[in-house]
Amino acid sequence: MVRKPRLALIGAGHMGLALAKSWIKQGLISKQGWLVIVDPNPSEAAQKLAEQLKIVIIPELESEQASLLETLVLAVKPKLIPEVGQTLARILPKTTLIISVAAGVTLNRLNEVFGSRPLVRAMPNMPAAIGRGATVFVTGPGADKAARAQAHALLSASGMAEEVVEEKTLDAVTAVSGSGPAYVFLLAEALAVAGVAEGLDPELAKKLACETVAGAGELLRQRGCDPAILRAEVTSPGGTTAAAMDVLMGSGGFAEMMRRAVNSAARRSSQLGSQS
């Protein structure tokens, strides 16, 4: 007898597996076999994790397996959406909720590929892997109150999840929180390199940079997420931090560079949508 899962995850990459881990950890997968992961070429790491979590990874979703699917989550590269969707659209029930986390792929494009079904476009980020993700989502006209609640439950299992009304917001979200972890990692990397330039041992510089970024982030979270106030608290007039801020906040400094970076990422998100 073929198991008939209720939830299918298409794509066993980093983001897909992070979401799957969060669903299991939060108890959203109530019965073994209710979740199936579909990936024709899963990595060794994906296979190992699937074994640990007791999740089945299969190369493709067959009609009988698709027949009772309540929700399908697309965690594949944007360019693969048409190819993947062409097959799935023929076998999925019309009531299946489809949640896409593919960057830039619009609701309109999802509707063209999957037809008239409940659709959700979402943008999670990498910290979802440790339950500290930040996700924003928007729903299509076919998603009723129950579908929206289901989407929120699945997406909030890995951290914060917020629904927005305007889909165009998702390109900016992608640029801020979707790509944002890379900006923070670059900050830690650059801080460590600068420490080495000032004479620190490379390992010590890396440790100091990583712990400083992690600690500052946790402090920011615990204190209500007001970075300007915290920055002012640590910046004494005429002190060492003030000297550094003069450089970082000067003309062409950190804020201006971040503005350009976020703008570039948002434009790329929009381009990916038009190319999918």
For 20-78, the pLDDT digits (tens) are: 888 888 888 765 558 889 999 998 888 888 888 778 889 998 888 888 899 999 999 98
| Token code pair at residue 187 | 């900050």
CA distance 204 to 14: 29
Give residue 33's pLDDT: 58
Amino acid residing at 78: P
Residue 226 DSSP label? -
Of 105, 126, 176, 140, residue with least CA distance to 19 = 126
Domains annotated on the chain, with CATH: 7-169 (3.40.50.720), 180-273 (1.10.3730.10)
Read off the pLDDT of residues 159-180 as tens digits, 9 standing for 90 and up: 999 999 999 999 999 999 999 9
CB 130 within 8 A of CB 153: no
Q: What is the pLDDT of residues 108-128, one digit of tens each?
A: 999 999 988 999 999 999 999
154 Cβ partners below 8 Å, 6+ apart?
7, 19, 23, 28, 71, 73, 99
Binning the chain into helix, strand and coil, the percentages to the nearest 5 are 55, 15, 30
Structure confidence by residue, pLDDT tens digits, 217-240: 999 999 987 899 999 999 999 999
> Over the stretch 53-66, which tens digit does the pLDDT of each residue have?
778 889 998 888 88
